Amino acid sequence: LLGAIDIGGSIFIHAFGAYFGLAVSRATRKRQLQKSSHNLDSQYTSDIFAMIGTLILWVYWPSFNAVLAHEGHPRTRAVLNTYLSLLGSTVGTFIISGFLGDMTFDMTDIQNATLAGGVAVGAIADLRIQPYGACIIGTVTGAISTIGYRILQDKFNSKLGFHDTCGVNNLHGIPGVLSGVLSGFFSGIANELTYGKEEYYTIFPSSAPSDELLLNMLRENIPGVQPGSGRQPSTQALIQLLALAITLFVAIIMGYITEDDQLFDDFYFWRLPNTLHGPIPKPSVINTPVPHLSEWFPVNDDGRERIHISNVVAPFKT
Mean pLDDT of 99-106: 89
Does 87 have pLDDT greater than 90?
yes
Mean pLDDT of 178-203: 93
Tens-place pLDDT, residues 233-269: 999 999 999 999 999 999 999 998 876 655 556 666 6
Identify the band that residue 313 occupies on the pLDDT scale cut at 50, 70 and 90: very low
The residue ranking higher by pLDDT, 177 or 152, is 177
Q: Which residues contact 72 (CB under 8 A, 6 or more apart)?
A: 199
* pLDDT score recorded for residue 156: 82
Mean pLDDT of 103-123: 94
Q: Which CATH number fits domain 10-188+232-256: 4.10.520.10, 2.40.50.140, 1.10.3430.10, 3.50.50.60?
A: 1.10.3430.10
Mean pLDDT of 160-167: 83
* pLDDT score recorded for residue 307: 47
* pLDDT score recorded for residue 198: 86
* pLDDT score recorded for residue 281: 54
* pLDDT score recorded for residue 114: 96
* pLDDT score recorded for residue 315: 46
* pLDDT score recorded for residue 67: 94
Best CA proximity match to 122, nearest among 14, 18, 22: 14
Does 302 have pLDDT greater than 70?
no
* pLDDT score recorded for residue 300: 56
Does 172 have pLDDT greater than 70?
yes
- In the chain, % of residues over pLDDT 70: 77
Q: What are the residue ranges of CATH 1.10.3430.10 in the chain?
A: 10-188+232-256
Identify the band that residue 278 occupies on the pLDDT scale cut at 50, 70 and 90: low
Identify the band that residue 312 occupies on the pLDDT scale cut at 50, 70 and 90: very low
Does 203 have pLDDT greater than 80?
yes
